[in-house]
Structure 1
């Protein structure tokens, strides 16, 4: 590094063992003996994680923000990011995360320790030497084809390849911004807990691949107790973990308290009331007024949708996968919200498209890690919102939701060969076998759409129902309450 230039934002990882899995945002690699950190970090959110092996080891990672963190979570409006970039001071942002052999993870140097402060000064003073020796990896948002091939080429070909690599890098950085533009310190603190703070005042939020929400945890007495691994690495890490504070989504009860009859039935089919109630509860209140700013509540859902997906992408976290699916089911089955929350719904569809474009980055595939049979869960949700949009948006009417859904539908058709329009799918027909025999076939899960089988309408004799004794009614009510408690 030339002495006349200030260092760019850099994260130093001293004493990191060789062959450690290191991931930064959407790129992962195996460390070498000469690897000491990553330089040229762009402004915005970053997620750094490590693992002792590439596949089956526990992964530990942390979120941190480069630049003015007060500008985080602004969505597609990047004005705040540009302002923060113009307001950078001459003091470089240097993050130092030292390898902890006890927990096999990265730990901070804190201001509480004189030894940590002296150690940090030594690392920062040696930054120029590390730069010149090639010990700092230049930040990349994705690995370009040229980086995977070491074949030499002609000068014009190399220049053209360098230009293509630059475009690929810019595309990757734009993708990452769109995947994290709704994250904020408030959202991360709600989900993960209070951050750790290093000696320079930089916060970071810790996550592991084993982190979970209580509703997704399998509690086995005597097996998942910390005492079961007394003194082990996993026990020390588990002691530091806190339960995920996800948004409370109950897909079994999506109607207001006290609702009966038709109101409950409609709220079960159209979850707009449950979505609106959740948005209202997590919206910020306007000082001195009764009204609430519901955009802040919608931002909470969008930020959590981004967080959960990226934790599946990088950490293969099971609990985050379940919450991502719950969020999508709540949002994509909210029929009235297509008109009432048009901007929010369109942003969800735009984000979902960006997420699906990166779903192959998950080891083994996003749909395979949860036995989703090729994305059956998501395909059904997209087909439902396709029907809802076609029903509630009149032909010829401009709609942001319809525009974004059309883009998403075209992409899943090309990539996965998914057909979302009901009339384009043959649901029942005659199939001729190789020996000439003809059999009648019906698409799986057709009962719900056709209202047949267990989904068929039921005729209830109200007179007979009203003649049941008071004791029998109490028993029925208690049984119903017990079922709700079990869920």
Structure 2
């Protein structure tokens, strides 16, 4: 048998047919001849499975193709063994656990797993030649959507496939470029180490943070009664360690009066405090270290969004919303952290463009509210940008207008409060005219609805 030079490949032997398989933003149902995916590009990847297309527990793992040390922050301590770097062609083997019906790594230090990995790698050429390895795709090829079309149209779609694929890979890279081994370890916990000493961070749709956990009778909280949890949902759960965001207290300890009222409307202090806590930068403002803290926030925005998009994880949806609530209600930070605010808006735009990748729609996971929370946040941010901040940065204005244009075209969201008539006359069918007034939006704290600061004469001698 002719030898082949393997490209980075995922092997998933013994996977039952019709299992839902997802790699990055592509999902499909496995076939009897499906054994894995070849030609993976360098960078972060997320592989997950589920019993059905919807309404089933999904589980998966993050792993990195290439030299993972290049994905770590320069200022972070190395948490990955040097043996996991520079191993040449990468063959990532997963095993199917029939008991939990999930994929799991072949673990380091296990002789049986070591032998199984060697056997599957030795059989790679036969699997390749039998057609059992699917080529990695970042998007569904346009030509596959044109089956049955006239040959001329199908050829045109074939020519667009390469450009469509390149765009999809750029999107995925931009959706994951702030992820680092230290960030995943902070949020998810210590990774599983496979037989090649490569880390994999395992997540399920049932993974949750303590603050988002609902105490359901019979199901213990994360980290408690792990054996009972394993019996209920099929495997042990770890607790997410998200950044702590308290939107009900966004002022410094000891703040009173005007300072407290202003910090409740403009959460720039809370954002700065969070950045300093993450990065360890002092109050004097070490810009280089603060940038590392901002990158952690961006990375968590990426992680939470993708875990909603792939696993439909509820806790990640709540943290994604909390992060956006904090950032998009800042005013001073628009100028003080111009690059960071612009990065958040660029990431949000790309995330919105990929929202439809989830079955049923991304915002439908949030119940009746849907995307209303985001529409209100963007309206409030626009007011801050154009009516509150003096000489707002041109870069932030440019990126925000791209977001505003996109949501207007896709969702018909009008973000300019001035475009709405709050009071006017309406003519009824019988010709009678009545005056109507728009109901006050309880979230509108600008203009005539802004809180009033009253000086009570605190500290005045009697």
TM-score when normalising by structure 2: 0.89
Question: Secondary structure of 1:183's match?
Answer: coil
Shift of 1:322: 0.6
- The separation in 1 between residues aligned to 2:262 and 2:353, in whole angstroms, is 34
Specify every segment of 5 or more residues in structure 2 that has no aligned partner in the other structure, as ranges. Answer: 75-84
Q: Residue 430 of structure 1 is aligned with which of 425, 449, 452?
A: 425
Of 410, 424, 433, which aligns to 2:405? 410
SS at structure 1 position matched to 2:367: coil
2:103 matches 1:109: no
Residues 265-303 of structure 1: CA distance to partner in whole angstroms, max 9, x if unpaired?
0000000000000000111569xx988611110011000
Distance 1:357 1:9 in 2: 28
Over 3 Å counting, the alpha-carbon distance change for 1:51 and 1:461 in structure 2 is same
Q: Which residue of 2 aligns with 1:309?
A: 305
Structure 1, residues 146-194: CA drift from partner, whole Å, max 9, x if none?
113322643x655432220111111111111111110101111000000
- Partners of 2:411 and 2:25 in 1: CA distance: 22
Check conservation: 1:23, 1:48, Cα contact below 8 A. yes
Using the TM superposition, give the Cα deviation of residue 109 of structure 1 relative to its aligned residue in structure 2, in angstroms. Answer: 1.3
1:147 to 141, 144, 153: 144
Distance 1:354 1:153 in 2: 33
Find the counterpart in structure 1 of residue 181 from structure 2: 185
Q: Is the 8 A contact 2:261 2:453 kept in 1?
A: no
C-alpha spacing 1:32/1:457, structure 2 compared with 1 (3 Å):
same
Match of 1:9?
Answer: 8
Residues 423-470 of structure 1 show CA distances to partners (whole Å, capped at 9, x for unaligned) of 11222323333344444433344355377999775979779xx99xxx
Instruction: For residues 124-156 of structure 1, give each alpha carbon's deviation from its aligned partner in whole angstroms, at most 9, with x where no partner exists.
Output: 1111111111111111101133113322643x6
Match of residue 242, structure 1, among 238, 245, 270: 238
Which residue of structure 1 lines up, in the alignment, with residue 117 of structure 2? 120
- Give the C-alpha shift of residue 233 in structure 1: 5.1
Evaluate the alpha carbon distance shift between residue 436 and residue 312 of structure 1 in structure 2; reply closer, same or farther with a 3 A threshold: farther
Counterparts in 2 of 1:364 and 1:69: CA distance versus 1, 3 Å: same
Q: Provide, for residues 20-40 of structure 1, a one-character-per-residue CA deviation record: whole Å limited to 9, x for no partner.
A: 000011110111111111111
Q: Which residue of 1 aligns with 2:95?
A: 98
Q: 2:204 aligns with which of 208, 220, 223?
A: 208
Which one of 249, 252, 255 corresponds to residue 248 of structure 2?
A: 252
Change (3 A) 1:425 1:104: same
CA distance in 1 between partners of 2:238 and 2:425 (Å): 55
Inter-partner Cα distance in structure 2 for 1:451 and 1:284: 34
In 2, Cα distance between the equivalents of 1:328 and 1:361?
A: 20
Alignment of 1:323-334 (within 5 A): 323-334=319-330
Aligned residue number for residue 399 of structure 1: 394
Distance 1:113 1:454 in 2: 65
Q: Does residue 1:345 correspond to 2:344, yes or no?
A: no
Structure 2 residue 441 is the aligned partner of structure 1 residue 446: yes
Query: Cα–Cα, structure 1 residues 217 and 44, in superposed 2: closer, same or farther, change >3 Å?
Result: same
Show the counterpart of 1:23. Answer: 22
Offset at 1:371?
A: 2.6
Tell which deviates more after alignment, 258-267 or 138-147. 138-147
Structure 1 unaligned residues grouped into runs of 5+: 76-87, 468-487
Change (3 A) 1:456 1:435: farther
1:471-486 aligned within 5 A:
none
Retained in 2: the 8 A contact 1:338–1:345?
yes
Distance between the aligned counterparts of 2:46 and 2:393, measured in 1? 38
1:323 offset after TM fit, Å?
A: 0.5
Separation in 1, partners of 2:129, 2:449? 70
Structure-2 change in CA distance of 1:230 and 1:440 (3 Å)? same
- The equivalent residue for 1:322 is 318
Distance 1:210 1:418, change over 3 A: same
User: How many residues align structurally?
Assistant: 446
Q: Are 2:379 and 2:417, in contact at CA under 8 Å, matched by a contact in 1?
A: yes
C-alpha distance in structure 1 between counterparts of 2:226 and 2:193, whole Å: 31
The aligned runs of 1:59-74 (5 Å cut-off) are: 59-72=58-71
User: Does 1:371 find its partner at 2:348?
Assistant: no
Does residue 280 of structure 1 match 2:279?
no
Instruction: Determine the C-alpha separation between the residues in 2 that align with 1:448 and 1:249.
Output: 19
In 2: Cα distance, 1:104 partner to 1:149 partner = 34
Quick check: 1:427–1:446 contact (8 Å CA) kept in 2?
Answer: no
Distance (Å, rounded) in 1 between the aligned partners of 2:261 and 2:118: 65
Q: Give CA deviations for 1:280-337 in whole Å, capped at 9, x if unaligned.
A: 0111569xx9886111100110000000111111111111111101000100111011
Deviation per CA, 1:334-384: give whole Å up to 9, x if none.
101110000100000000000000111222212222135452111111111
